[in-house]
Amino acid sequence: MSSTVRLARGCLSASVPNLKAGHPAGLAARLQAGHGRQQAITLSQRRPSGGIQSAPPRRCHLARRRGAAVFAGPGGRRPGGGNSWGDRQQRKDDQQIVLGVGIGLTLLVILALKLGGDAFQDADAWDLGAWDGSFGAGDVAGSLLWGVSLWFCSPWQLLLLFLGRIEVERPSDWLLQKLGRTAGLNVDAIDYRVPAGLQAAAVAVFGASGLALSAAFQALLGDATWAVSTGLGSCMAAGMYEVGRPRRLSVEEAQAKEQQWQEFGRFADERLERRGRCHETEVMRALQREMPKYRGEASGLDSSALRDLVRNWAPDAERSSNGFWKGLSLKAAGSPAAPSSGPSCITSSGGESSTDQY
């Protein structure tokens, strides 16, 4: 399973648009709520390139919805860990998905053997009648399979899967964004939820696409078996895509991530500086003294999450395998905060600001 799930580990991470002073909303990311699990925001360390000479403070790097991503779940661990309870649970869920896909494929093969090759080659075994512009049972089944597959994975993404790449954005995510912007909605808001009307419109679009593909197979090949068989294969690939994609968060979880970054940013401005050395446990203890809410496992801030926050606040800091940070140190309590030049982010090529559900 691990080889399939980790196909996208070599993908590049991108960053979010510029943040303004005061740690405004936006780090936690743009949400496309209202259609299943929310896509996870993943923080990753990224060096400045080209002519950028120094790393601006509080620079945040998140996985883009489009293109490649750094995974926060079992398919790709966070840079410093991935052994938190949430990561272990996600790995368990992914194993169940892969197991379910394997069992389903095995059952389909057994069913095919039981029915016999003639039943699959004979159009009458699937269709209610010969092709005359009407749809039979096989055509409808193929349409449904292709519609579901296209919701999660486009044919281009299927091709990329065989080339060892995974795009994190569903075709349905892209369409829902376009529909939301056309309707004048703020799809970049962290609490954005897709209205039911837009969801219904998107379902209709992909349903019509599935019908068109099924009709094309019937018209060209004269057999609904092709639509059903290719639809099954594409659904299997779409399922593997979902395993490899970052975990999707709910609106509430994303808002909690945003609040966590805001609070850490205020703590870091007062108690941390981008020079010297310290151990990560010193940072954790200082943060827990300042903010008792982050004490204990139920706080939602484990060592892996803290490393992500530190990397985004001090992207030039380096962490050793023993947990020591170079380029980061603690200031004495009560020391004046260093002036900040304001947050800044590097955006990926194209200049389009795109933060993922996180």
Tell me the per-residue pLDDT of 35-45, one tens digit each, with 9 for 90 and over. 333 333 333 33
Tell me the per-residue pLDDT of 9-21, one tens digit each, with 9 for 90 and over. 333 333 333 333 3
Assess contact for 325 and 279: CB atoms under 8 A.
yes
Tell me the per-residue pLDDT of 300-316, one tens digit each, with 9 for 90 and over. 788 888 898 999 999 99
Tell me the per-residue pLDDT of 161-174, one tens digit each, with 9 for 90 and over. 777 777 778 899 99
Alpha-carbon span 251 to 32, nearest angstrom: 9
pTM of model > 0.75: no
DSSP string across 234-268: HHHHHHHHHHHSPPP--HHHHHHHHHHHHHHHHHH
Backbone angles phi, psi at 45, to 5 degrees: -80, 130
**Domain range summary for the chain, segments of one domain joined by +:** 2-82+251-330, 116-244
Tell me the per-residue pLDDT of 231-283, one tens digit each, with 9 for 90 and over. 888 888 888 888 877 777 788 888 888 888 999 999 999 999 999 999 999 99
Axis crossing angle, helix 196-221 with helix 137-152, rounded to the nearest 10: 130
Alpha-carbon span 56 to 15, nearest angstrom: 14
End-to-end CA distance of the chain: 25
Q: Is 3 exposed, middle or buried (0-12, 13-18, 19+ CB in 10 A)?
A: exposed
Alpha-carbon span 137 to 120, nearest angstrom: 13
The SS3 call for residue 43 is strand
Assess contact for 282 and 301: CB atoms under 8 A.
no
The total number of residues shown for the chain amounts to 358
Confidence of residue 325 (pLDDT cuts 50, 70, 90): very high
Q: Is 287 exposed, middle or buried (0-12, 13-18, 19+ CB in 10 A)?
A: buried
pLDDT of res. 179? 92
DSSP string across 66-80: SS----SSTTS--TT
Helix (H) or strand (E) holding 105: helix 85-115
Confidence of residue 335 (pLDDT cuts 50, 70, 90): low
